[in-house]
Structure 1
């Protein structure tokens, strides 16, 4: 075991993203939360980049979705990312912060707005639809949505920010597995404990 700083797993992830960039699915991963019933809930989401150049991972979602309800009760989740060309898997868990329209911090609201405008207009339109995960009712389905390119974020747009606490990296081609953990004795120092384990 060794202790290092500066998110030593991040360069592995960036390399995997670059090497697999020609595959559209490389920008998707699975996000698991603890459901309101205490059972695991899993879904596929889109990687939106690192939060302000940090190690934190951004995800965009609808504030009416089940995952938001899950995170209100238990603010922890885990993502699983598999890159098919390089046979690499990243399991990253940590606390997830929700930045929605009710957030009182002006700086965080600015980050939410920045995320909103980083999305395509087509992606933004999704947040104008009916409540996700609810029964489909024809009469409630809008015939047309209207959203101007300069309109700010709608109330249903939510920015999720996952702050990694543990990263489990598996390379099946190299038969290598490494676990990176935030130093529990000094979590604010950005020190990571690195341990090679059996695949």
Structure 2
């Protein structure tokens, strides 16, 4: 197997191994294309998509993690319908990954606490907005209180931030892998049910 834009993959195990490696790199490196996937939720009977930051990945547990403000619409959307999809694309590898499964919101438990400890102090200010995300305003504003807008170092850890912090944990049970190639695209699909995996090559 040669890994790169012209890589040759002939085994489904290679598809999984390269996919896991890219997802781990997405968590570790903020410059990696997989660092900013697209997360899709359902808003009633309509899909709702947005870019998020990949904060965690485990192939053993088949989980993907991102953070958000607990007051955002996607939190209530997931609570109403836990089915979500993730889209990753690597422009240099010409590789697309789509993963789908069920998500759970964590706000006041060990998972939320452990993830909160990983949030940089300079990023915690993002959870201090007085007005919930998605609210209509008369003028452009971040929603942050006046005393926080200068991001004075002593105020980075605003006590309100933790209350507004939420973790989205998705356990995926399906993955669609697509490799774009000038000589003909390649596509594979994986479905997990308990400890069993159903993997197959499919026509792009």
Which TM class, normalised by the smaller chain length? 0.7 to 0.9
Contact 2:25 2:32 (C-alpha < 8 Å) held by counterparts: no
For residues 14 and 51 of structure 1, the distance between their equivalents in structure 2, rounded to whole angstroms, comes to 8
Contact 1:16 1:86 (C-alpha < 8 Å) held by counterparts: no
Higher relative contact order (CA 8 A, sep 6+): 1
Whether 2:149 is the aligned partner of 1:148: answer no
1:111-163 per-residue CA deviation (whole Å, 9 max, x = no partner) reads: 211111112112211111131010125797511233439x7961111111010
TM-superposed deviation, 1:172: 0.8
Closer/same/farther in 2, CA of residues 79 and 28 from structure 1, 3 Å limit: same
Aligned to 1:111: 111
1:6-28 per-residue CA deviation (whole Å, 9 max, x = no partner) reads: x9865222333578858444300
Aligned to 1:106: none
Contact 2:126 2:161 (C-alpha < 8 Å) held by counterparts: no
For residues 68 and 22 of structure 1, the distance between their equivalents in structure 2, rounded to whole angstroms, comes to 24
Contact 2:122 2:156 (C-alpha < 8 Å) held by counterparts: no
Q: Select between 68-77 and 23-32 the one with higher mean Cα deviation.
A: 23-32
- Equivalent position to 1:15, from 18, 21, 46: 21
> Structure 1 length as normaliser, TM-score?
0.78
Contact 2:23 2:57 (C-alpha < 8 Å) held by counterparts: no
Closer/same/farther in 2, CA of residues 137 and 143 from structure 1, 3 Å limit: farther
For residues 169 and 50 of structure 2, the distance between their equivalents in structure 1, rounded to whole angstroms, comes to 16
1:80-116 per-residue CA deviation (whole Å, 9 max, x = no partner) reads: 1101110110100000011113xxxxxxx12211111
Contact 2:127 2:161 (C-alpha < 8 Å) held by counterparts: no
> Structure 2 length as normaliser, TM-score?
0.77
Closer/same/farther in 2, CA of residues 153 and 55 from structure 1, 3 Å limit: farther
SS in 1 for 2:113: helix
Q: How many residues align?
A: 180
Gaps of 5+ in 2: 1-11, 149-154
Gaps of 5+ in 1: 102-108
For residues 31 and 82 of structure 1, the distance between their equivalents in structure 2, rounded to whole angstroms, comes to 12
